[in-house]
Amino acid sequence: MNAISLAAQILACCLLLHSQIMAATSAFTGVFGDGSHAVTVAMVEEGRRCSSAVREGTAPIGGGGAPPKPLLVTSPYEGGEYPVVVFLHGYLANNSFYSQLFKHVASHGFVVVAPQLYTISGPDTTGEINSAAAVIDWLASGGLSSKLPPDVRPDLSKVSISGHSRGGKVAFALALDHTKISIPIAALVAVDPVDGMGVGKQTPPPILTYRKNSLRLRGSAPAMVIGTGLGELPRGPLLPPCAPRGVSHADFYDECAAPACHLVARDYGHTDMMDDVTPGVRGLLTRAVCRSGGARAPMRRFVGGAMVAFLKRWVEGEPELLDYLRARPETVPVVMSVVEFRDGLRT
C-alpha cells in the first residue's frame, strides 16, 4: 500500500468518525427543541363524581367516561401508540402554566396528561395524592383513549409520573405506594421537588426520611431529579425561598435508590420552566414570589429535553440521548452545576 492510498483511507475514516459524532450531537441537541410530531391540546372536564368517591370504590370509572379531575391532555396528532406521562402541577399553580413544556415533550412522541388537582389547598397533600391516584386509575380503565385524536393510542404499559415543586412530592408519594394505583410506573421525573418549608417543617405526609437510598420506588422504577440553583434563595428579604434547603431536590436525590440521576440548572429559579406568559393572579405570583434567572425559554427547553432523554432511555429502551447528556453536559442550553448519575444508568 503506497503512502497516498494509506492517507486516503485515514482521511476517509476520520470523515466517517466526524459524521457520526456530528449526527450524535445533532440528535442530542434536538431534544432541546421541538420534536418531529405535530401536537394537539385538549381540555377535558371532570365527571360529576368526585375523585375521593372513585378511590373509595363508590363510583365506577372507565368506559371512556369523564375523568375524576379536569385534565389538560397534550399528545401527538398523528396516529400511533405513545407512552404516557402524568404531570402534577406545583402548589397553587394551574396545569395550564406548563403548556409549552407539555408541547415540547409531546412533540417527541409522548402523551402528557396533566390534572388540575385542586383550586385551593392547605399543607396536607393527602387529598392531592388520592386525586392523582384516581386519575391514574381512570387511565388504567381506558378512559383516556376517547379523549385523544383518531388513531392515537396511549400505551398504558408505559406510564411515567412527573411533577413540579409540591407536585414532585406527590409524584414521589405515588411511586412509593402511599396509596395504591392500578398500573405499574415506568419512571419518575421530579422537577425541583419540595417537601415542605424546611427540615422539621415537612408537609404531611412527609416523603423525605433523611436516610440515604431510603426512597425505593415501586417496581424499582428509575428516578430523575431536576433542580434549580436559585430555588433555594429567597426572592427578597421578606419572602421565604420557594425550594428551601433540607427539603428540596438535593435531599430527594440523596435518598433515591439507584437507578437515579440529578441535574441542576445553576442560574435558574423554581418556576422558570413554566410558560412565558402565566395569566391571572396566580400567574403573577409565579414571578413575584420565586427568584428567577430571567427568560424562561432556556430552562424550559432544558427540562423538556432532559425529560425526553431520560424517558427515551427508561421507557423506550433508547439510551443514546441520556448517555450523550452524561458524557457531554456542556451541550445543554443551561449551565449545570450538578450532573450526577447512579449505578444502572449506563447500558
Burial class (CB in 10 A: 0-12, 13-18, 19+), 92: middle
* CB proximity list for 177: less than 8 A, separation 6 or greater: 218
In the sheet that holds 336-341, the strands lie side by side as: 39-44, 71-76, 111-115, 80-88, 152-164, 188-191, 223-228, 260-265, 336-341
Kindly report the pTM of this predicted structure.
Answer: 0.88
* Whether the predicted pLDDT of 62 surpasses 80: no
Cα distance between residue 127 and residue 121, in whole Å: 9
Please give the angle made by the CA atoms of 325, 326 and 329, to the nearest 5 degrees: 60
DSSP string, 111-129: EEEEE---SS--S--HHHH
C-alpha to C-alpha distances, 54 to 68, 276, 284, nearest whole angstrom: 8, 36, 34
Catalytic residues: 165, 192, 270
Residue reference for cell 432544558: 302
* Whether the predicted pLDDT of 294 surpasses 80: yes
Percentage of the chain lying above the pLDDT 90 cut: 82
Cα distance between residue 121 and residue 92, in whole Å: 7
Of 61-75, 138-152, 177-191, 238-252, which range is least confident?
61-75
* Whether the predicted pLDDT of 195 surpasses 50: yes
pLDDT tens-digit map of 297-329: 999 999 999 999 999 999 999 999 999 999 999
Percentage of the chain lying above the pLDDT 70 cut: 86
* Whether the predicted pLDDT of 12 surpasses 60: no
Instruction: Please give the pLDDT value at position 343.
Output: 75
- C-alpha cell, 230: 436559585
Instruction: Please give the pLDDT value at position 346.
Output: 44
